[in-house]
Structure 1
């Protein structure tokens, strides 16, 4: 009988996990944001979310790679671009640095 109980418990947990993941809506867009870090340097943060507005609100406080290639906390946001489009950052120098990172 203990085996039957274990099978029932495992089945319950598997079904619960399936339902939890099946009902959850996952973000469909990838954004990169130009931020100012705690040292005042320009930084880059990548995040997945639903809208640009959400990206701009959520990016502050996240870890950013600054232009000195040091990880720091983002304290303000300059611009976020949607990577599912052909957008570029307004700051051409920052865009060039970002493109070098992607290579």
Structure 2
């Protein structure tokens, strides 16, 4: 696979991961505090709006999980880290565990 195709594949995987995390949050909060993206600013904005809804869910914990998922999704797409951080590969198991924890918080 050439470098451009590899980069595109990694970007597509990042987008897939981000959508995977947006869906359950928006299923619960979409009508009152939709999560628009997985950037730090988007998560911070969501946290503020979700906290104002009076939800009984642990908004801070959900936000923490979203930030970690975002960080890992960024690692998936950042080709330059391959050279400097080979030992910090992001595997699907770690993201799956974060997703499972998110679903528990949203239940």
Structure with higher helix content: 2
Q: Mark yes or no: TM-score above 0.5.
A: no
Provide TM-score, normalisation by structure 2. 0.24
Larger gyration radius, structure 1 or structure 2 = 1
Between the two structures, name the one with larger relative contact order (CA 8 Å, sep ≥ 6).
Answer: 2
Please identify which structure carries the higher strand content.
Answer: 1
What is the TM-score with the length of structure 1 in the denominator?
Answer: 0.25
